[in-house]
């Protein structure tokens, strides 16, 4: 196994992780921004008002994209397991 192969595998794994994290975090960030603007406009400084909507949106996002999320991880793992003999030898 050459260093180039290891770097390619690591690069692919890292790009998959980044895509999955962005897909989960983005809706929560947008919700947090909307709640922050609302809090600034109304001068409400309640901590739970900013936390609860982000939590609900993040959990809802996970429930909607969970199938794609785990499918992507399983596809990468299957591809890695199938290619192990050619990568080692």
pLDDT tens profile 37-68 = 998 898 888 877 888 999 999 999 999 999 99
Where are the domains positioned within the chain? 3-84
- Model's pTM, two decimal places? 0.79
Contacts of 21 (CB under 8 A, 6+ apart): none
The band of 22, judged by pLDDT with boundaries at 50, 70 and 90, is very high
The percentage of the chain sitting over the pLDDT mark of 90, rounded to a whole number, equals 62
Cα separation values, 83 from 61, 63, 70, 86, Å: 32, 31, 20, 5
Query: What value, to the nearest 5°, has the Cα angle with vertex 74 and ends 73 and 76?
Result: 65
Q: pLDDT higher for 87 or 6?
A: 6
Q: What tens digit of pLDDT does each residue of 8-17 get? A: 989 999 999 9
d(CA 11, CA 30): 28
């Amino acid at each position: 196994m050459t260093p180039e192969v290891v770097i390619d595998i690591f690069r692919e794994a890292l790009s998959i992780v980044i895509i999955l994290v962005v897909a989960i975090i983005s809706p929560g960030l947008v919700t947090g921004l909307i709640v922050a603007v609302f809090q600034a406009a109304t001068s409400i400084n309640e901590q739970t008002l900013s936390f609860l909507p982000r939590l609900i949106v993040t959990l809802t996002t996970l429930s909607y994209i969970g199938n794609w999320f785990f499918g992507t991880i399983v596809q990468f793992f299957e591809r890695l397991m199938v290619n192990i003999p050619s990568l080692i030898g």
